[in-house]
Every structure is written in C-alpha cells, then in structure tokens.
C-alpha cells in the first residue's frame, strides 16, 4: 500500500500490512469483504478468493516489521521465495507425470509388445527424464542461494522459467503416451494436465522471468 506520497524514491512509498483474515464470506469486518470462492480448473487444494478493502482502517500495529516504507523489499523477498516454491511444485508435477508415463508405457501393449519397446516412446521417456532432472537441479540451486542470503533473483527466475516450461512439456508428453485413457478422470494424468498450466503463470509468467534474467545477465556481462 502507498503510504508516503512524498518519498524521495518510488519504492520507499510502499508499506506492507499484515491483516488477519476472518473466516467466512461477505463483509467479515467493517471495510473488508470476502466474495465467494473462485472456481478454478486446477489448484483445488486451496480455496482462492478476492479480498476487497473499502473504507477499512488498519492500525499502525498491523505494519509488517513495524516500520513503514519497507513494503517493496518485503514483496520482492516474498516473490523470490515464491518463485522457488513454484519451481519445486513444477518439479513435483513433472516427476509424477513422468512416473505415470513410465509405468503405463511398460503396461500398455501394441503390435505384440509394450509401447516402451517402440523407439518413439522410449525417446520421449528419455527426454522427459532429462527435463525432470535439469529442472530439479536448477530449483535446488536457487533454493540454496536463497538460504545462503545471497542475491538469487536471477537464479530463482531461471529455475521458475525452466521448471514450469519443462513441467508443461513433460505433463503433455505423459498425456500423449496415455493416449485416450489420459482424457479420462479415471487416470491421474488428467488432473496433472489441469495443474501444470497454473505453474506457467504463478509468480510471474515466463516472459517476466526472461525480463529478470536478461537484466541480471547484463549486470554481469554488460560493457
């Protein structure tokens, strides 16, 4: 929230407030309204809704850290953690999609043999496994940098970009390996196909990550 229009720098004009959200929907306290749940195509393990502030007055004790003007730093720190978090989730979805594909490819038979014995499927699995491993290594690297206290905006952006894109690719390949069965809710891959797209946009799209990465690269290699 903007709290000091006279701040010498724009990012010093932002303050983070930590406000307890009451349970329920509607106007839960004067000035705070929580509309109904937003229905989503995936990511159903947690409810999503808007939080509408209209005339709400927050006391100074609600300022995160007790000091105004630090909101930009709080948000950037949270975004970096969030990008590592999304990377980890993408790794998990990709790994599970790969596991399902590898298992199904050994069970499903065509032309007298398991489909994994067809080179087209075997090569798909090889590519999927490599993408899963590469994404996991980048995610772990970004997490370790964050834990060390070093700057990790570029590493987090790279991990989030690669892991989410690879997750979408691996999940789709698993879906294709399952054939028509993958379209049925009876098979787990159907759910993963709905989970993967959110990871492409959560904590910033791939285009946002590329912007961050390119600026970081130019800081290191600029003339």
Question: Dmax of the chain from CA atoms?
Answer: 76
Q: Distance (Å, rounded) from C-alpha 107 to C-alpha 67?
A: 60
Alpha helices in 110-221 (DSSP H): 119-148, 153-178, 188-201, 206-221
Q: Distance (Å, rounded) from C-alpha 156 to C-alpha 148?
A: 13
Give the tokens for residue 191.
């759910």
C-beta of residue 213 within 8 angstroms of C-beta of residue 154: yes
Phi-psi region of 43 (alpha: psi -120 to 50; beta: other; left: phi over 0): left
* Residue that is written with structure tokens 């789709």 in the block: 172
Alpha carbons within 13 A on the beta-carbon side of 222: 7
SS3 of 114, please?
strand
SS3 of 142, please?
helix
Q: Distance (Å, rounded) from C-alpha 95 to C-alpha 133?
A: 9
From the candidates 165, 195, 203, 207, give the one annotated as an active-site residue.
Answer: 203
Q: Is 203 a catalytic residue?
A: yes
Residues taking part in catalysis? 203
């Amino acid at each position: 929230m903007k709290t000091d229009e006279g701040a010498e720098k724009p990012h010093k004009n932002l303050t983070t407030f930590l406000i307890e959200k009451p349970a329920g929907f509607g106007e839960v306290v004067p000035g705070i309204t929580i509309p109904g749940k937003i229905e989503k195509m995936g990511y159903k393990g947690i409810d999503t809704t808007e939080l509408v502030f209209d005339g709400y007055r927050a006391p100074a004790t609600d300022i995160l850290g007790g000091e105004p003007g630090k909101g930009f730093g709080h948000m950037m720190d949270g975004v970096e953690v969030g990008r590592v978090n999304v990377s980890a989730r993408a790794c998990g979805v990709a790994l599970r999609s790969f596991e399902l594909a590898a298992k199904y490819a050994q069970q499903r038979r065509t032309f007298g043999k398991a489909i994994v014995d067809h080179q087209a499927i075997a090569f798909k699995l090889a590519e999927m496994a490599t993408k899963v491993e590469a994404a996991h290594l980048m995610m772990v690297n970004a997490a370790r940098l964050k834990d060390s206290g070093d700057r990790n905006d570029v590493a987090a952006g790279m991990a989030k970009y690669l892991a989410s894109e690879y997750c979408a690719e691996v999940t789709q390949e698993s879906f294709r390996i399952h054939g028509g069965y993958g379209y049925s809710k009876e098979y787990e891959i159907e759910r993963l196909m709905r989970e993967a797209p959110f990871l492409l946009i959560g904590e910033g799209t791939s285009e946002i990550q590329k912007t961050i990465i390119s600026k970081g690269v130019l800081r290191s290699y600029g003339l």
